[in-house]
C-alpha cells in the first residue's frame, strides 16, 4: 500500500524543489537590480532645467546628468525640486544627487561633496532699458531681486547687508523677472545662463543686461551627500568620459551656441 504513494510523493518533492529554486532565482534577480538614484533639479531654471508640455524635465543640466549617468552605468530618476529645498532633500536622503546650477564654494562643501566642475558661470544684472545702473555697486541704493539661497542672494547681502530690506528674495527666477517687469524691484541679479536666456527670449520686455567684471567666475558641480565617495567617483568618471568624447561640448552648443565653454 505504501508504494502507491511513492510516485506522488516524488512529484511533490520535485515541485517543492523547483519552487525553492525559483525563489532563489527571483531573490538573486532582485539583488542584482541596479539602484535607481534620485536626482534633484530645479525645474524653474531654464535653460538648465524646465518642464515641457508633458511635465518632463528638459534642459542643459538634465542632458548632462543623463549623459554622465549613461557613461558611469548609473540608473537615475530626475525629479523637479525647488532650489530652496534642494540641500535639505540631499541631507535627509530624499535625493541622492543634485544637479541644479549649484556653485561650488567652501560653505557648501561643509555639508556636501562636489564633482569636478561641469560649467563656468558668473552673475549678471538685469535692468529696465532706461536704468542708469552701470555696475553692481550702483545697486546699493536700489531694490534687488534674487532667487533665495543662490550665490546672487549672497552677493546682494554682501553689497547691502544680510538683513537689508533692499534685497527681495523669490522662490524662482521667473518670479524675480516678473517682479522686475512690474516695478517691484529695480534690478535682478542671477546666473549668466539663465539671465541671457530670459532676455533673449523676451525682447518685448525691454530689459538690458550689465556684465560687471567685478563678479568672479563660478563653477557648477554635481553634489552628493557628504562622504559618499563611491558615488562621487562614478560621477567624476562619467564627467571625464563626456568631456573626452565631445558629448559635453555638443550639449553645451545646443543651449549656449553664442558662448564659449
pLDDT digits (tens, 9 = 90+) for 149-163: 999 999 999 999 988
- For the entire predicted model, the pTM comes to 0.82
Q: State which residues form the domain around 239.
A: 36-120+219-256
- Give the tens place of pLDDT for each residue, 189-199: 999 999 999 99
Q: What is the per-residue pLDDT for 257? A: 79
- Give the tens place of pLDDT for each residue, 228-243: 999 999 999 999 999 9
Q: Same domain for 113 and 225? A: yes
Q: Same domain for 43 and 113? A: yes
Q: Same domain for 201 and 240? A: no
Q: How is residue 171 written as a grid cell?
A: 522662490
Nearest to 235 by CA among 101, 89, 39: 39
Residue 261, in any domain of the structure: no
Residue 25, in any domain of the structure: no
Q: Same domain for 55 and 105? A: yes
State how far the Cα of 146 lies from the Cα of 156, in Å rounded to an integer.
8
Q: Which residue has the cell 560687471?
A: 212
Tally of domains within the chain? 2
Three-class secondary structure assignment of 169-226:
EECCHHHHHHHHHCCCCCEEEEEHHHHHHHHHHCHHHCEEEECCCCCCCEEECCEEEC
Nearest to 142 by CA among 213, 46, 210, 218: 210
Strand 218-220 to 119-121 pairing: antiparallel
Which of the residues in the chain have pLDDT under 50? Answer: 1-5, 28-29, 260-261
Please, where are the H alpha helices in 48-171? 60-72, 83-91, 106-109, 151-160
User: What number of other Cβ atoms are within 10 A of residue 87's Cβ?
Assistant: 18
Please give the helix or strand (H or E) that residue 232 lies within, else none: helix 229-244
Q: What is the per-residue pLDDT for 25? A: 54
Q: What is the per-residue pLDDT for 16? A: 58
Q: What is the per-residue pLDDT for 19? A: 54
Residue 29, in any domain of the structure: no
User: What number of other Cβ atoms are within 10 A of residue 141's Cβ?
Assistant: 9
Q: Same domain for 198 and 138? A: yes
Q: What is the per-residue pLDDT for 9? A: 53
Amino acid at each position: 500500500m505504501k508504494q502507491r504513494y511513492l510516485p506522488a510523493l516524488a512529484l511533490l518533492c520535485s515541485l517543492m524543489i523547483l519552487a525553492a529554486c525559483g525563489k532563489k532565482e527571483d531573490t538573486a534577480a532582485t539583488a542584482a537590480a541596479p539602484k535607481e538614484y534620485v536626482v534633484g533639479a530645479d525645474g524653474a531654471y531654464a535653460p538648465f532645467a524646465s518642464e515641457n508640455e508633458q511635465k518632463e524635465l528638459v534642459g542643459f543640466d538634465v542632458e548632462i546628468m543623463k549623459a554622465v549617468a549613461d557613461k558611469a552605468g548609473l540608473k537615475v530618476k530626475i525629479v523637479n525640486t525647488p532650489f530652496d529645498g534642494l540641500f535639505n532633500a540631499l541631507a535627509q536622503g530624499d535625493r541622492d544627487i543634485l544637479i541644479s546650477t549649484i556653485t561650488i564654494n567652501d560653505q557648501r562643501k561643509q555639508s556636501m561633496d562636489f564633482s569636478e566642475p561641469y560649467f563656468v558661470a558668473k552673475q549678471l544684472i538685469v535692468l529696465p532699458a532706461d536704468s542708469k545702473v552701470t555696475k553692481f555697486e550702483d545697486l546699493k541704493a536700489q531694490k534687488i531681486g534674487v532667487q533665495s539661497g543662490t550665490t546672487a542672494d549672497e552677493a546682494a547681502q554682501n553689497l547691502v547687508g544680510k538683513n537689508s530690506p533692499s534685497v527681495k528674495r523669490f522662490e524662482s527666477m521667473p518670479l524675480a523677472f516678473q517682479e522686475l517687469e512690474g516695478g517691484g524691484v529695480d534690478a535682478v541679479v542671477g546666473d549668466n545662463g539663465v539671465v541671457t536666456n530670459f532676455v533673449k527670449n523676451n525682447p518685448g520686455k525691454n530689459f538690458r543686461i550689465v556684465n560687471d567684471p567685478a563678479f568672479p567666475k563660478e563653477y557648477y558641480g554635481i553634489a552628493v551627500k557628504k562622504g559618499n565617495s563611491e558615488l562621487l567617483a562614478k560621477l567624476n568618471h562619467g564627467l571625464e568620459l563626456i568631456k573626452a568624447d565631445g558629448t559635453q561640448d555638443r550639449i553645451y552648443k545646443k543651449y549656449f551656441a553664442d558662448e564659449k565653454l
